[in-house]
Structure 1
Amino acid sequence: MIKPNSLKPNSTIGIVSPSSWMNKDDMKTAISVFENKGYKIILGDYVYQKKDTFAGTPEQRAKDINGMFANPEIDAIICARGGYGSNRVLPLLDYNLIKNNPKIFMGYSDITNILIAISQVSKIITFHGPMLTSFKNGNVDYSFNLIEKTLNQFTNLKINSPAKLPITTLKNGFAEGNLTGGNISLIVSQIGTQNQIKTDNSILFIEDTDEYLYALERMLIHMKESGLLNKIKGLIVGEMTDIHDQKIPFGKSTDEIILDIFSDIDIPIISNFPCGHGEFQATLPISINAQLDANSQIPSITLLENPVKNE
């Protein structure tokens, strides 16, 4: 895998909107968080475009991403927000250009499939982590500190959850594998396509938001029946925010659904990990070797190799 250059002090960060557009006032607040930390921000040409729910046409959104990778002034690329629309951008990305100009690329939610595609096609380590929208109300120390720790060189990095978000151990154990994953509905949307996620020998992390309990179970069964779960080494379930029930109760919580679907899969499983749509967001490199410790009283993930390089 190709490692992008690290995020150094005073680096220049490019902002793109691959999916939906972001409120200007929220964006200004979030940009000030990065600027106050010493980073220079350059916006993509079409970041403020509005075409219905989208931040411009698919061609405009893809042009911004390709342009940021091609621009030698840009050190790292962070997405403004998710929403919907990245699936229209995937076939328009110049994966050879991206491979020849490796840079930090970070986002989550609807950005999941861009992270996976760049990782699997361009062979560049990408990062599931905070976007501008994560800081629309100001800085979140936990999330920003982990951005800077993860995007700089280290021997290994242990990631714990903040005290306000205790992790739940669903199945004890210890596992090692390549870290990959993202939003469940986005992962499921690419099953059977050329951009289907590769999960063999992985520690898989998943999260979702604004779904019904029955839909969550349906998507997990889809993943299982497609074979995506056959060879995973461990499972990290992020915060499952705004998960709804119906008038007639579904009868199982999110954790109970996970335990049911994975009842015959002997791997360590933790839930309520800080990745996804909650207040706290860890930065997780995709395709980096990691350890999942679900045996300790305080479960954790340890990144076993550096996802970036210094030049």
Structure 2
Amino acid sequence: MTSLPLRPPRLHRGDRLALVAPAGRFSSKVLERATSNFSSSGLTLELPAPLLRRHPLFAAEDTHRLMAMQTALDSTDYRGILAVRGGYGTSRILPGLSLDSLARHPKVIIGFSDLTVLHLFLARKLDLISFHGPMLLSGFRNYRHNALKTFTNFFLQQNQGDLLLPQGTSTVFLRRGEAEGRLVGGNLTMLAHSLGTPFEVDTVGRILFLEDINEPLYKIDRSLTQLALAGKLSSVAAVILGIFLDRDMPIARKKVGASVLEKLPSGVPVVADFPISHGPENCYLPHNARACLRKTRPDLVLPEPCFEN
């Protein structure tokens, strides 16, 4: 029998979430607006350490971002951690993180894009389920009822056996089939960059999900080729393609799909148009949790709980 991964407790109304900024810069006004928009979720956002410090690339220098992230991981006051935004910089602080406290007191950790490497790191080091999906600015910079509903439905109500595909969304099979395995993936560029690192993506027997932004088709193919040459596409259980954006315009599914299909063994199912992206279509996926792809429908089902209770 396959052992269950480490699972965080479910969130409840009134819980406190720590805001962290392990990557790019942002303005205080945008942060305040997004925090206000998030307030009707029933959860409280708090800053374990000041986030905004002058730096040309990042929200703050490496030592400060590391300290803020470590405080959020260690404090038992917080039931979860929500990243403010992606950008670049998360991988620079990973070697300095201690996960001892998180291993004893797992938390819900949410982010995507540059945070892809954090999900890989947590899966490798702790076998922890973390959550790929909208961050504070990408999800709540502008008030959107659907964003709040998606968040609360997933983190306050998600159950074993539930569909991971939100209502009203449509996906398609590029190659029909069924599969079961742990969900792993995220931003394609970051997955390719993980190769050769201690948190290199593990795809054996996994359902691999992919998305990217501001990458033309030839760069997408280059990253896919890098994964293929590293042996990362030869043993996947299935591939789930999100929305690939170039200059805010989606790249045709057939073009991305053709690049993927030619690199996969025959029989590996592929689903396209899954709502994971840097655009408004971005659902939450439990990274490192087991999921099932059914042959009859191009969606994903949770056969096991992704929360401890």
TM-score above 0.5, yes or no: yes
Which residue does 1:307 correspond to in 2?
306
Instruction: Work out which of the residue numbers 81, 96, 102 in structure 2 matches 1:98.
Output: 102
1:98-120 Cα offsets, whole Å, 9 max, x none, are: 22231111100000001110122
Instruction: Work out which of the residue numbers 25, 31, 53 in structure 2 matches 1:27.
Output: 31
Q: Give the Cα separation in 1 of the matches to 2:71 and 2:56.
A: 23
Residue 244 of structure 1 deviates from its aligned partner by 9.2
Which residue does 1:58 correspond to in 2?
62
Q: Give the Cα separation in 1 of the matches to 2:247 and 2:205.
A: 29
Q: Give the Cα separation in 2 of the matches to 1:13 and 1:174.
A: 36
Q: Give the Cα separation in 2 of the matches to 1:217 and 1:197.
A: 18
Q: Give the Cα separation in 1 of the matches to 2:66 and 2:105.
A: 16
Q: Give the Cα separation in 1 of the matches to 2:260 and 2:55.
A: 38
Question: Does structure 2 retain, via aligned residues, the 8 Å contact 1:140–1:280?
Answer: no
Q: List structure 1 segments (4+ residues) > 6 angstroms apart after TM superposition.
A: none
Which residue does 2:258 correspond to in 1?
256
Give secondary structure in 1 for the equivalent of 2:53. coil
Question: Does structure 2 retain, via aligned residues, the 8 Å contact 1:213–1:244?
Answer: no
1:60-114 Cα offsets, whole Å, 9 max, x none, are: 1111111012112111100000001111011111122322231111100000001
Which residue does 1:249 correspond to in 2?
none
Q: Give the Cα separation in 2 of the matches to 1:281 and 1:217.
A: 22
Which residue does 2:122 correspond to in 1?
118
Question: Does structure 2 retain, via aligned residues, the 8 Å contact 1:99–1:123?
Answer: no
Q: Give the Cα separation in 2 of the matches to 1:278 and 1:269.
A: 21
Structural RMSD (CA): 1.9
Residue 199 of structure 1 deviates from its aligned partner by 1.1
Q: Give the Cα separation in 2 of the matches to 1:135 and 1:293.
A: 32
Gap change, CA 1:306 and 1:50, over 3 Å in 2: farther
Residue pairs, 1:271-290, within 5 angstroms: 271-290=272-291
1:108-142 Cα offsets, whole Å, 9 max, x none, are: 0000001110122022211111101121111251x
Gap change, CA 1:294 and 1:79, over 3 Å in 2: farther
Instruction: State TM-score, norm by structure 2.
Output: 0.91
Which residue does 1:16 correspond to in 2?
20
Note if 1:218 corresponds to 2:222: yes
Long gaps (5+) in structure 1:
246-251
Gap change, CA 1:144 and 1:293, over 3 Å in 2: farther
1:188-224 Cα offsets, whole Å, 9 max, x none, are: 1110121101111111101100012111101101101
Q: Give the Cα separation in 1 of the matches to 2:94 and 2:226.
A: 22
Residue pairs, 1:188-199, within 5 angstroms: 188-199=192-203
Question: Does structure 2 retain, via aligned residues, the 8 Å contact 1:14–1:41?
Answer: yes
Gap change, CA 1:161 and 1:179, over 3 Å in 2: same
Question: Does structure 2 retain, via aligned residues, the 8 Å contact 1:211–1:244?
Answer: no
Which residue does 2:50 correspond to in 1?
46
Which residue does 1:292 correspond to in 2?
293
> Which segment drifts farther, 104-113 or 36-45?
36-45
Residue pairs, 1:164-203, within 5 angstroms: 165-203=169-207
Question: Does structure 2 retain, via aligned residues, the 8 Å contact 1:234–1:268?
Answer: yes
Question: Does structure 2 retain, via aligned residues, the 8 Å contact 1:170–1:270?
Answer: yes
Note if 1:7 corresponds to 2:3: no
Q: Give the Cα separation in 1 of the matches to 2:13 and 2:263.
A: 44
Q: Give the Cα separation in 2 of the matches to 1:116 and 1:265.
A: 27
Over the matched positions of the two proteins, sequence identity in percent amounts to: 27
Residue 241 of structure 1 deviates from its aligned partner by 1.3
Note if 1:68 corresponds to 2:69: no
Residue 32 of structure 1 deviates from its aligned partner by 1.6
Which residue does 1:155 correspond to in 2?
160
Aligned length: 299
1:31-68 Cα offsets, whole Å, 9 max, x none, are: 12221222111013132223112011112111111101
Long gaps (5+) in structure 2:
none
